[in-house]
Structures are given as C-alpha cells and as structure tokens.
Amino acid sequence: MIKNIISGIKAYFGAFSLISKLKLWKYFIIPMIISVITASLISFTAYGLSDDLGQFISKLWIWNWGKETFSTLSTILAALIIISIGLILFKHIIMALSAPFMSPVSEKIEVYLTGKPVLNNRNSSFTEQLWRGIRINIRNLLMELIFTIPILVLKFIPIVNIFSTFLLFILQAYYAGFGNIDYTLERHFNFKDSIKFVRKNKGLAIGNGMVFILCLFIPFIGVILVLPLSVTAATTQTVKVLNKNLIN
C-alpha cells in the first residue's frame, strides 16, 4: 500500500504540464467557480459557528476544578470539528457537482495515455454523471462522518490525540482520492464495482487525497487548483492500474 501512496503523490508532479499540453484548462472553469463559491459559503458559516460550538462544549463540564483547562480544550476541539466537517463538506460538494465536467476531462486524459478510444465507455449523459457524482459522494460523506466522529472524541485522550490527528488526515485523504478516482471508474464500472476497485487500491486513493487536502491549506490558490490537479493525477494512475489489470 505504501508504494501506491507514493505513486498517488508523485502523479501530481506531471499534472500541471499534462493539463497544459492537452489544453484542458477551459474545462475546469466551472468546477473552479463551484470550488470558490462553496469554499466561501463554508468559511463564512464556519466562522460564525466556531465560537458558539466552543461555548456549548465547555458547558458540558459542570465541575469548577479544571474548568479553565476544559474551556481551552473545548475551543481547540470546536476548531477541529469545524475544520474537519468543513473540509468534508467542501470536497464532497465540489466533487458531486463537478462530476459532469470532470468525467469528460478524465476521458480525454485516458485517450491520450492509451492512444485509443475508451472501448468500454458506459456512454453516460450529463444528468447520469451528475447523479453518479451525487450518489457516490453522499455515500462517502456518510461513511466519512461515521468514522470522523469517534476520531474527534479521541482528541480528549492525552497522547492518543496525536495519533487521532494522523488518522483523521488519512481518512480525509482516502475519501478525497476516492472521489477523484471515480471520475475514471465511472466509464468502466458500476457503482458497486467502483467501490471494490477503490478498496483494493486504497493506497492510490490515500496518496492522491493527501495532496488534495494539503492543497486546501494554500490560501485561495489551493481552492482553485485542487480539483484540476487532483483529478488529472488520479486519472493517470487509475488508467495505469486498469491497463495493468487488462494485461494480467
């Protein structure tokens, strides 16, 4: 799995040049706009809720001793919850709404890499691609929230909270990579088979998603470029795996 994680990360190095070579930037205009609008709405909402959430959590401590310490921890926990949920919502919203625009881009990259048309194209329409994107991301959103909540609770446990931060990052990365990979899988597999593919190649999803998450911490530029770069990187690696499976 470590090898696949590294491959998923390394794929980003050639993403920018590949997009320029194939003249794909124009296809990313609408997804970029979706990213900026979504990020802005989530940021303003998170800013307004962070203080209220911190105060609510601090009130759970009914004892006088240690109240100041717990209040500090509550503020930190509230920030982590807001950031975590904000990142989760952001990536699933933009991936779902951008599906009809990203799938054709992914196909153009696949045709370029293989040198031949995609023979097993599922020929899905704009509406079907959008529905597929919404369906896969709602499923991933629910799964991610189920695993995220107990990890956030671990933040209250000393020492363990260090590892919980790492687990949270890996979890976020996995589902981000999942969404990026599915733009290619949409042409080859149905819903259930796509889930099986990603589970089998989870290292690839994690590697792709790790860079995706880190890009979001780059002010403004990260939000704009994260989808074009991550989708391109995911497509190149997914196509390699698909072709390898066909050969074997």
Whether residue 16 is contained in a domain is answered as yes
Whether residue 145 is contained in a domain is answered as yes
- Residue 59: which pLDDT band, with cuts at 50, 70 and 90? low
Q: With a cut of 90, say whether residue 201 has pLDDT above it.
A: yes
Q: With a cut of 80, say whether residue 145 has pLDDT above it.
A: yes
pLDDT of residue 187: 87
Whether residue 247 is contained in a domain is answered as no
Distance CA 220, CA 222 (A): 5
Query: For residue 186, what are the domain limits?
Result: 2-242
- Residue 64: which pLDDT band, with cuts at 50, 70 and 90? low
Across the chain, what does the average pLDDT equal? 85
Q: With a cut of 70, say whether residue 81 has pLDDT above it.
A: yes
Q: Which residue has the higher pLDDT, 43 or 122?
A: 43
80 contact partners, CB below 8 Å, separation of at least 6: 152, 155
Whether residue 183 is contained in a domain is answered as yes
User: Domain count of the chain?
Assistant: 1
**CB burial string 166-205: b at 16+ within 10 A, e below:** eebbbbbbbbbbbbbbbbbbbbbbeeeebbebbeebbbbb
Whether residue 248 is contained in a domain is answered as no
Q: With a cut of 60, say whether residue 247 has pLDDT above it.
A: no
Helices 67-114 and 160-185, packing angle to 10 deg: 30
Helical (H) or strand (E) element with 235? helix 221-247
Q: With a cut of 60, say whether residue 121 has pLDDT above it.
A: no
**pLDDT 10s digits, 166-181:** 888 999 999 999 999 9
Distance CA 179, CA 136 (A): 8
Going by C-alpha positions, the residue among 94, 105, 137, 98 that lies closest to residue 223 is 94
Q: Is the CB of residue 115 less than 8 Å from the CB of residue 199?
A: no
